[in-house]
Amino acid sequence: MNSNVGRLKIQLPCKLHMAKIVFNSFESFLSRHPESFSFTATITSAEPKGLSTDKSDKKLPTPYKLFHEWASLSLAGEWVTTKYKGGFIICVSDLKDATLISQKFGTTGTPRKAFTTERNVALGYKDDDYSQLARELGYDI
């Protein structure tokens, strides 16, 4: 099933997280949490240029997977992510999680209505944030 975001095409299903349990429906999350907060980020889909492993030979994730790893460790409420060419979307059900994401990565622009929620913000997470976040998550780069 596909959803359209302007000219972007998003492949569903995606991963829905609730107390560390993974479900497979972005749309069911949105219907269950119509007042959720969503963030969009523009990133590349490949690991950092010239790096496939860290100094201890641990495979490095893509920027999306690195963010996903951070979210899995940091967010307390229900949330869902999906990626598309050039970026990803994360929706969270809890204001505390939305605040945590905003404080950690910053936002660019003002909230605007999107296909996801009434409150959609461009997330400040960029490819340049990769090294710092990877180190915070224990990668030796």
Over residues 101-105, mean pLDDT: 95
Q: Where is average pLDDT lowest: 13-22, 42-51, 122-131? A: 13-22
- Given a cut of 60, whether residue 19 has pLDDT beyond it is no
Least confident of 33-37, 77-81, 136-140: 33-37
Q: What was the pLDDT predicted at 138?
A: 94
Span 102-118, mean pLDDT? 72
Hunting for tokens 């996903």 — which residue is that?
A: 68
What's the rounded mean pLDDT across residues 30-54? 83
Tell me the C-alpha distance between 32 and 126, whole Å.
29
| pLDDT > 70: percent of the chain | 76
Concatenate the DSSP letters of all residues of 75-125 into one string.
Answer: --S-EEEEEETTEEEEEES-HHHHHHHHHHH-EEEEEE--SS-SEEEEE--
pTM of the full predicted structure?
Answer: 0.77
